A = this chain, B = another copy of it.
Amino acid sequence: MENKSFHVHHSAFGAFSSVVLGKFGKGGGFVLNDVRPPSNNIYIGYKKDGNIKLLPFCNEVENGAEKEFTGEISNTNVKKSIEFFKEEDIERELNWALDKWSVGDFSFSIITPFGNVKDPMSMNKIEKKYSFAPVIFAKITLDNRKGNSDAEMIFGMEGPKRRISETTDNLYLGAASERSYGFGIENCEDVMELSRLDILSSWADGNYQNHGLGRAPSLIFKVPAGTLKTYTIALATYQAGDITTGINSGFYYSDLFDSLEDVLKFALENKAYYINKAEERDKELESSNLNEYRKFLIAHATHSYYASSELLKGKDGRPLWILNEGEYIMMNTFDLTVDHVFWEMKFHPWTIRNTLDLFVERYSYYDQMGMSFTHDMGVSNGFSPKGYSAYELPDLKGCFSYMTHEELLNWILTGAVYALKLQDEEWLSKNIEIFKQCFESLVLRDSNLDGIMDVDSERCRSGSEITTYDSLDVSLGQSRNNLYLGVKTWAAYVVLNCVFINTKLEELSDKAINRAKKVAETIVSKFDSKNNYIPAVFEDGNTSRIIPVVEALIYPYEIDYKEYVSETGMFSEFIKTLKTHINTVLKKGCCIDEVSGGWKLSSTSKNTWNSKIYLCQHVIKEILHIDYGESEVEWDRVHATWQQVGCSEDGATDQVNSDDGLPRGSRLYPRLVTSVLWME
Contacts and interface: CB of A to CB of B under 8 A. Distances in A.
A165 to B, nearest CB: 9
Nearest to A664: B71
Contacts of A174: none
A472 B390 CA distance: 55
A628 interface: no
Interface in A168-209: 176, 178-179, 209
A72 interface: yes
Contacts of A75: 396, 398-400
B161 A213 contact: no
A664 B71 CA distance: 7
A73 B471 contact: yes
A326 B212 CA distance: 16
A471 B70 contact: yes
A664 to B, nearest CB: 6
B213 A330 contact: yes
A120 interface: no
Interface stretch (A374-382, A437-445, A498-506, A572-580): A374-382
Interface stretch (A7-15, A241-249, A670-678): A241-249
Which 8 pairs between the two chains have the least Cβ-Cβ distance? A212-B390, A71-B471, A70-B399, A73-B398, A162-B382, A241-B241, A73-B399, A240-B241
A336 B394 CA distance: 57
Interface in A601-630: 605, 607
A473 interface: yes
Contacts of A468: none
A391 B213 CA distance: 6
A45 to B, nearest CB: 25
Given A68-B665, A213-B330, 18 more contacts: A69-B328, A70-B398, A70-B399, A72-B472, A73-B399, A73-B477, A75-B399, A75-B400, A161-B380, A166-B384, A166-B385, A178-B380, A179-B243, A179-B245, A209-B393, A212-B378, A212-B379, A212-B384
Nearest to A380: B161
A434 to B, nearest CB: 25
A473 B74 CA distance: 11
Nearest to A71: B471
B389 A212 contact: yes
A75 B74 CA distance: 57
Nearest to A177: B380
A280 interface: no
Interface in A58-96: 68-75
Contact of A382 (B161, B240, B382): B161
A167 B242 CA distance: 14
A304 B202 CA distance: 33
A485 B605 CA distance: 75
Nearest to A211: B393
A179 B212 CA distance: 31
A649 to B, nearest CB: 16
A388 interface: yes
Given A161-B379, A379-B161, A178 B72 contact: no
A395 interface: yes
A392 B275 CA distance: 40
Contact of A213 (B70, B245, B390): B390
A477 B382 CA distance: 52
A665 to B, nearest CB: 6
Contacts of A68: 665
A477 B75 CA distance: 14
A282 interface: no
A664 B244 CA distance: 41
B477 A400 contact: no
A663 to B, nearest CB: 11
A659 interface: no
B70 A211 contact: no
A394 to B, nearest CB: 7
Nearest to A383: B166
Interface in A629-680: 655, 664-665
